DNA sequence: CTGCATGCAAACCGTTTGCATCCCC
DNA sequence: GGGGATGCAAACGGTTTGCATGCAG
């Protein structure tokens, strides 16, 4: 059922992308990763970052978050957890509440889909943006 | 707290966009709406469709779904409900399970965010795609 | 030596925007 | 006649892709 073991070479670029991604607790977009990585590898190409994020996600080394907003976001921790997105600055972080395993079962009873996963995303205003009350622009 | 009453004129274009959106139970992307509307208004511009979907969403006439995938999707029913996305064809539909109001409270206790909403998205394979087993390409 | 990985740049796709024209009040 | 709405097309931002070169096995 799972993808065959993939044999992915850990090049310098991949290693550094992985390291930088692991450093942060927010879930950066591809270009945010690009910016972080470029400080250590100034000549790296945007395409390489995209290709490798995609590739590492396919191989389960990292997670690709399909959250709201236009851009894809990436996450070094692959265990399932829920997220919260700041409607003001767009930042995405983890939220520490237990996974509700029963949800998939409940949903399956009410659907013709073959369901294999779920994700909860909360929306709110992060503490920094709360401080800036007044000059808020909701995204 | 809410937006001031908006005074939005119901032009032919807006009316037809709304009608077409109400016809379908899936939640089409802007260009899917464009295609549907163009059958009745062949000269309508893509820009008009985008502008009006956005505008009607701001005014609470329709809902803009910030679901996974790259494209925004729109929904004629504005009451909150959960969605399921087919990993195979990308289609998004409603899933009929009750809203869990307690979730926001639970999340608020575990976060510094001021939380005001949540959304659950299930992933699975829709019944049509299940039939095509074999020539499936997971998105 | 061979093939995968990279850097670079152009292409691509969904969305937004500027502008001249149109239509409704 | 005036202000918003439209059609059209160009611009934009994020992502993907083609290609020549580079590097590791």
> Per-residue pLDDT tens for B91-102?
999 999 999 999
Cα-Cα-Cα-Cα torsion A82, A48, A30, A33, nearest 10 degrees, comes to 90
| Regions of chain A where pLDDT drops below 50 | 1-5
Residues B66 and B109 grouped into a single domain: no
Residues A50 and A101 grouped into a single domain: no
Tens of pLDDT along chain B (139 residues) come to 444 445 789 999 999 999 999 999 999 999 999 999 999 999 999 999 999 999 999 999 999 997 888 899 999 999 989 999 998 888 999 999 999 999 999 999 999 999 999 999 999 999 998 887 655 555 5
Structural domain boundaries enclosing B59: 1-78
CATH number of the CATH domain containing A66: 1.10.10.10
B8 and B2 Cβ atoms separated by less than 8 Å: no
- Quote the pTM value: 0.85
Please name the nucleotide lying closest to A11, CA to C1': C5
Residues A89 and A135 grouped into a single domain: yes
> Per-residue pLDDT tens for A108-123?
999 999 999 999 999 9
**What is d(CA A56, CA B37) in angstroms, rounded to the nearest whole number?**
40
Number of domains in chain B: 2
Which tokens belong to B116? Answer: 């005001």
**What is d(CA A60, CA A115) in angstroms, rounded to the nearest whole number?**
20
B122 and A107 Cβ atoms separated by less than 8 Å: yes
**What is d(CA B98, CA B100) in angstroms, rounded to the nearest whole number?**
6
Residues B15 and B58 grouped into a single domain: yes
Q: How far is A108 from chain B (nearest CA, A)?
A: 9
**Secondary structure element (H or E) that encloses residue A14, with its range:** helix A12-23
**What is d(CA B81, CA B51) in angstroms, rounded to the nearest whole number?**
25
Please name the nucleotide lying closest to B46, CA to C1': D7
Beta bridge partners of A106: none
Would you call B97 an interface residue with chain A, using a CB distance cutoff of 8 Å?
yes
A95 and A84 Cβ atoms separated by less than 8 Å: yes
């Amino acid at each position: 059922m799972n993808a065959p073991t993939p044999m992915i070479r850990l090049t310098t670029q991949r290693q550094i992308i992985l390291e930088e991604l692991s450093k942060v607790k927010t879930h950066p977009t591809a270009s945010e990763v690009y910016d972080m990585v470029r400080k250590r590898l100034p000549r790296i190409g945007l395409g390489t970052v995209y290709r490798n994020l995609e590739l590492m996600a396919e191989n389960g080394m990292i997670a690709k978050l399909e959250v709201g907003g236009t851009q894809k976001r990436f996450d070094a921790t692959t265990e399932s957890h829920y997220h919260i997105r700041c409607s003001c600055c767009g930042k995405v972080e983890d939220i520490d509440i237990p996974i509700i395993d029963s949800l998939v079962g409940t949903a399956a009873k009410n659907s013709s889909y073959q369901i294999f996963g779920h994700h909860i995303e909360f929306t709110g205003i992060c503490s920094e943006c709360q401080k800036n009350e007044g000059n808020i622009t909701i995204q």
